[in-house]
Amino acid sequence: MGRSGADSVDVLVVSLGSTSGLRAADAELADSLRRAGASVALLAASPPRPMRTLALTDLSWALAARRAAVAGLTAHRPRALIYSSTTSSLFWPRPGAIRFDAPSAGNRPGRHGLWQRPAERRRLSQAPLLLPWSSGGLEEAPSAARTGERALVLPVPVELSGPPAPARDIAAIAYGANPFKKGLDRVLRAWHRIRRPDERLFVAGASPSELARSGISLPAEGVHVTGPLPPDEYRALLRRARVFVCAPRREDYGLAQLEALADGCQLVTTPAPGPYAALPIARSLDPRLVGDDLGTALRTALDDPAPDYAASVASTLASFGRAASDRIVREELLPRLLPSS
């Protein structure tokens, strides 16, 4: 394994990078491939200008991903390609593996996925290898894409981000990017109803003006909006928080929730449709913290935390750790990407 020429690489990862979670997942994948002995180029699509509809947004991102892939093929002459997300593969210049959290078949219903769904069906049926983040993500793919032995479930690795904070001085934290989909309005209503005077909810990932444009009204007291933060600063806040709370209307995976668990937060969530990988984990850790009555679950987490919660998290998240991901990449992914090595 390794370079087959002066300018060539084993694997080119075409990163859509439209969210911080996708960017982190792509960086982890590239690092894992390198630890397994492969040479890797990670090329990100240039963010297009904002569009008014999801269909146009996906079109502009797919075209940006194609440009990145063409540039990467020319510069790096890769032996294999991985397209991160189905959107990045829609106009591919050369077939490759497709890694995805959820397909458009599940998260682009109706007019939102009018052109994406048929294009995605073609790409998923043509790809030599599918790399869903979870079995639930694969189950949402069209049936033709699930035939044969082309799928390898490859979770995004999640690890503790740093040393514990001196104190858990933040009562609760929520993530505010894509606030309607993530149900931030539901979280804020529940928080307003159950908070005590000395408790504050931190909202990260969006500024007050961004929330206002999404129709999110902030309570007068008890909520601190941090705005977008660098990943290390955001994870440092998680290490100070007692609870991570969310009420998604749909969840494609739940990476933010898994990161919060890894950093010592209790996870309070409502059930949600989609391949919500963190949901069964939350139920297994403490079923009292999962349900439609978000306020009661929040109050339970703050007032009566399960004494064995942290120990249970450590054993439950072992299969999501970097060591487990590296084993899959080394023993299963690379032999299928580069079968002649």
Per residue of the chain (341 residues), give pLDDT as tens.
Answer: 554 445 799 999 999 988 888 999 999 999 999 999 999 999 999 999 988 899 999 999 999 999 999 999 999 999 999 999 999 999 999 999 999 999 888 888 888 888 999 999 999 999 999 999 999 999 998 887 777 788 999 999 999 999 999 999 999 999 999 999 999 999 999 999 999 999 999 999 999 999 998 899 888 789 999 999 999 999 999 999 999 999 999 999 999 999 999 999 999 999 999 999 999 999 999 999 999 999 999 999 999 999 999 999 999 999 999 999 999 999 999 999 998 75
Distances (CA, A) of 22 to 45, 52, 223, 338: 12, 22, 27, 24
pLDDT at position 217 is 86
Q: Report DSSP state, residue 154.
A: -
Rama region for 155: left / alpha / beta (φ>0; ψ in -120 to 50; rest): beta
Nearest residue to 83 (alpha-carbon basis) of 98, 101, 66, 103: 98
| 147, 167, 187, 259 from 238: Cα distances, Å | 40, 11, 17, 8
Alpha helices in the chain (DSSP H): 20-35, 54-76, 86-89, 104-107, 116-126, 135-139, 179-182, 184-194, 208-213, 231-238, 255-262, 278-285, 294-303, 309-316, 322-328, 334-337
Distinct helix (H) and strand (E) counts, the chain:
16, 10
**Beta partners for residue 12, in sequence order:** 41, 81
* Backbone φ/ψ region at 200: left (φ over 0), alpha (ψ -120 to 50), beta: beta
The phi and psi torsions of 61 (rounded to 5 degrees) equal -70, -40
- Residue pair 72/37 in contact by the 8 Å Cβ criterion: no
Structure-token match 């941090």, residue found:
226
Phi, psi (deg, nearest 5) at residue 165: -70, 155
pLDDT, position 5: 46
CATH number belonging to domain 11-157+321-337: 3.40.50.2000
Neighbours of 241 (CB within 10 A): 24
Q: What is the 3-state secondary structure (H, E, C) of 82-128?
A: EEECHHHHCCCCCCCEEEECCCHHHHCCHHHHCCHHHHHHHHHHHCC
pLDDT, residue 330, reads: 97
For the chain, what are the domain ranges? 11-157+321-337, 170-319
The CATH number that domain 170-319 falls under is 3.40.50.2000
236 three-class SS? helix
pLDDT at residue 4 in the model = 47
CA dihedral 326, 330, 334, 340 (to 10 degrees): 170
Q: Which pLDDT belongs to residue 106?
A: 81
CB atoms within 10 A of CB 97: 23
Burial class (CB in 10 A: 0-12, 13-18, 19+), 163: exposed
pLDDT score for 145: 76
> Are the C-beta atoms of 312 and 264 separated by less than 8 Å?
no
Q: Do domains 11-157+321-337 and 170-319 have the same CATH topology?
A: yes
Question: How much is the pLDDT for 289?
Answer: 98
Distance CA 301, CA 266 (A): 7
Does residue 325 contact residue 35 with C-beta atoms inside 8 Å?
Answer: no
Q: Under 8 Å CB-to-CB from 122, ≥6 apart: which residues?
A: none
